[in-house]
Amino acid sequence: MADEALFTRHDVVFSSSDSTCAAWLYLPAGVSSPPVVVLGHGLGATREMRLDAFAEQFASAGIAALAFTYRHFGDSGGQPRQLLSIKRQLADWDAAIAYVKARPEVDGSRVAVWGSSFGGGHAITVASRHPELAAAVSQCPFTDGLASALALGPVASLRLTPVVARDLVAKVRGWDPVLVPLAGVPGALAFMNAPDALPGYQALIPPGGTFTNGAAAREIPRLATYRPGRAAKNVTMPILFCVSNTDSVTPPAQTLRYARTAPQGEIKTYAAGHFEFYLGDTFEQLVTDQLEFLVRHLQPAPARSTTRRAARQRSVKGKKVGSDAPVLPS
């Protein structure tokens, strides 16, 4: 864990459309009116799954952070549960940005967005729609639904069709959604079934934590047509793309093609898999690179302590992919 003397963490809730999003607001100690970065996670993931690790490091460097969970997941509001709606999640990002701009403790004129995986794709879309933002970070981003569907495999994609049909019937009749696992073993019916997908999700669950491994099947066709990478050319502020060279979920070749179209884009590549970005040495390198970028563009005042490096080293301790992580409940 990071040195908690460097920041305070507050449990907060903000309104989004018809419901609420639960979040953590991190405020750096001894810093008046700091800039702020908004953090959103990936496919069906919640803020407890290592968003706190990144937010702690940003706060320790003098940058406030808001890490939130999308509606319909975790302890956020929204019915039905486990609904993975692109439109609603983008609305949650808009609501989160509006929320931090209204907080008197932070500088609403210096706001950045940070997204990972599916949230990394959202960060591109959101940045293209909010030219007033100071910066954006897109980590191992989902940039092209068609490319990700092809990575899943055509046979696996076809097997999802009858499940989607059943869930659409459930939607019409007002029944509970028909869920598809977010992560499964290779060959399994799931949103992601790469070899590192299931152990990757398991490694992100905190000790004693729980996670529902499933999302409503009805949104699968929309995922295949969601191509947030196309919005990169419309992102006018500096944006940092952190790309896995061996990404099994979001093919890096397509991501890099999109990233190069951003007028002020910066690209960092890493010899690590999609789920290795959250732990260990890769996390350490990512935080170093992202902090250099965010400090350069957000211009935070120095934090109260000079022990940020030691704090960062402590926070990288965690279970490696494939370790004794808890099993995801279905």
C-alpha 41/C-alpha 48 separation (Å) is 10
* Whole-Å CA distances, 272 to 187, 246, 253: 23, 6, 15
Mean pLDDT across 33-51: 98
Confidence of residue 247 (pLDDT cuts 50, 70, 90): very high
Task: Choose among 22, 116, 21, 108: nearest CA to 64.
Answer: 108
Spatial distance between the Cα atoms of 296 and 177, rounded to a whole number of angstroms: 45
77-82 LR contacts (CB < 8 Å, sep 24+): 77/19, 77/20, 77/21, 78/18, 78/19, 79/19, 80/176, 80/177, 80/216, 81/177, 81/212, 82/44, 82/177, 82/179, 82/212, 82/214, 82/215, 82/216
What domains can be seen in the chain, in order of their start residue? 4-145+228-315 (3.40.50.1820)
* Contact present, 74 and 45 (Cβ < 8 Å): no
* DSSP annotation of 260: T
Of 70-79, 154-163, 191-200, minimum mean pLDDT range:
154-163
CA angle 101, 28, 25 (to 5 degrees): 50
Classify the phi-psi angles of 187: left when phi > 0, otherwise alpha if psi is within -120 to 50, otherwise beta: left
The mean per-residue pLDDT over the stretch 32-61 comes to: 97
The whole-angstrom separation of Cα 96 and Cα 37 is 10
Higher pLDDT, 34 or 157: 34
Q: Return left, alpha or beta for 251; rule: phi > 0 is left, psi -120 to 50 is alpha, else beta.
A: beta
Q: Predicted confidence band at 79 (pLDDT cuts at 50, 70, 90)?
A: very high
User: For residue 209, what is the DSSP state?
Assistant: -
What is the side-by-side order of every strand in the sheet holding 111-116?
7-16, 19-28, 64-68, 36-40, 111-116, 135-139, 239-244, 265-270
Which of 76-80, 83-87, 147-151, 251-255 is predicted least confidently? Answer: 147-151
Q: What is the pLDDT of residues 109-146, one digit of tens each?
A: 999 999 999 999 999 999 999 999 999 999 999 999 88
